[in-house]
Amino acid sequence: MSYTEVPGVRVPIRMWTDPAAVEGAAMQQLRNISSLPWISGLAVMPDVHLGKGATVGSVIAMEGAVCPAAVGVDIGCGMSAVKTSLTARDLPDDLARLRSSIERAIPVGRQGHDDPVDPRRLHGLPTAGWEGFWERFDALAPSVRFRRERALSQMGSLGGGNHFIEVCLDTTGAVWLMLHSGSRNIGKELAEHHIGVARSLPHNQDLADRDLAVFIADTPQMAAYREDLFWAQEYAKRNRAIMMALFQDVVRREFRRAKVTFDQVISCHHNYVSEEVYDGRELLVTRKGAIRAGSGDYGIIPGSMGTGSYIVRGLGNAAAFNSASHGAGRKMSRTAAKKRFTTRDLELQTRGVECRKDSGVVDEIPGAYKPIEKVIEQQRDLVEVVAQLKQVVCVKG
């Protein structure tokens, strides 16, 4: 579908979904965003739903300003995926051992590695800039500098919530590895620090929503945030790269006889800020629950722990600021999902997937998410599908 334009306060709201299907609170958030004095454009993806401050599934383009709460607390959260030389015929009937091996190699939940991962010991992992990256740690906000050891231990770990590691099959029977994670606790603490600073600034006192407090260009607060933001986005990217290398090592060991090879890894952020130019104007584009989908850009749009996911290629639609959705999007809150569904429902909806089926992940049940097929159909002018995947193993935090 092409977008529907809804009147906003300062800019129109371009929506790649039916506005009538969007919950009222989310629509109000979008109107609040469109009222910001610095707003240049607002695009809404088909996975849109209520978020904190800014709506998940929104692309916010501002000139000379950025909103830290719109980025969210998991700075740089995103996806990585890679196609392997394995096929469905290579997989055992019982995938429990493979799942256990993945869980032993990659810490989940709040856990980190007992000893920080040395990237030089991981097969094929690029290590360029590694030392320089960590040298920048001491220049981060003072409130997080005592977190170095924790940040080191959590590098290469999954986290909880909707983060996952999956073994998938595409429609040809090829095996893919896929994972979803971000900047872990260090990104969260940096985000919370800067959100607090932004709320205290005089120019943010009369906003419709204090969670939309911004930093303005050429100020010390903006400079400090940009440094920490881009460091955390790099942390998230490196975190996924290490996890993928650990994941590949597990697969090499488990399928030693097959001599597994891997294609080029696809990786994309979906909670982040990027400096981009549109109509000759330099803008700060915040994608909160959205991926970059410039012409030829590869991206990943996952469903839920029991449904399909998609590898896509961007079509470069400038009306959407070269963006696409980051997933299926929730259709109900975690609390509502826990009240509505049972572990029996979870078992039925994840049939055929080797994964947790206990009360701790009921809030991640497929029924809590929008249908991924419809979400993909609504953005045919934003991306083209390269591969359709279905998980057979899913590791949750």
Q: What is the pLDDT along the chain (397 residues), one digit of tens a residue?
A: 589 999 999 999 999 999 999 999 999 999 999 999 999 999 999 999 999 879 999 999 999 999 999 999 999 999 999 999 999 999 999 999 999 999 999 999 999 999 999 999 999 898 889 999 999 999 999 999 999 999 999 999 999 999 999 999 999 999 999 999 999 999 999 999 999 999 999 999 999 898 999 999 999 999 999 999 999 999 999 999 999 999 999 999 999 999 999 999 999 999 999 999 999 999 999 999 999 999 999 999 999 999 989 999 999 999 999 999 999 999 999 999 999 999 999 999 999 999 999 999 999 999 999 999 999 999 999 999 999 999 999 999 8
DSSP letters, 62-99, are ESSEE-HHHH-SSTT-EEEEEEEEEEGGGS-S--HHHH
Distance CA 397, CA 151 (A): 18
Q: What is the pLDDT of residue 53?
A: 73
**Residue 236: predicted pLDDT:** 98
Q: How many residues does the chain have?
A: 397
Paired sense of beta strands 383-396 and 354-355, if any:
parallel
Structure tokens at 87: 């096929």
SS (H, E, C) 289-309: CEEECCCCCEEEECCCCCCEE
Residue 314, C-beta contacts closer than 8 angstroms, at least 6 positions apart: 292, 293, 294, 295, 296, 297, 298, 299, 322, 324, 382, 383
The per-residue pLDDT for 1 is 59
Three-state secondary-structure class, residue 220: helix
Helices 220-254 and 96-105, packing angle to 10 deg: 140
Annotated catalytic residue 270:
no
322-358 core/surface letters (b: 16 or more CB in 10 A; e: else): bbbbbbbbbbbeeeebeeebeeebbeebbeebbbbbe
Query: Which pLDDT value is given to residue 397?
Result: 81
Would you state the pLDDT for residue 127?
87
Catalytically annotated residue among 180, 194, 270, 326: 326
Burial class (CB in 10 A: 0-12, 13-18, 19+), 126: exposed
Number of other CB atoms surrounding residue 147 within 10 Å: 16
Q: How many angstroms separate the CA atoms of 178 and 167, rounded? A: 6
- Tell me what pLDDT residue 302 has: 97
Q: Is 1 exposed, middle or buried (0-12, 13-18, 19+ CB in 10 A)?
A: middle
HSE, side-chain direction, 13 A CA sphere, residue 29: 25
- Side chain identity at residue 71, one-letter code: V
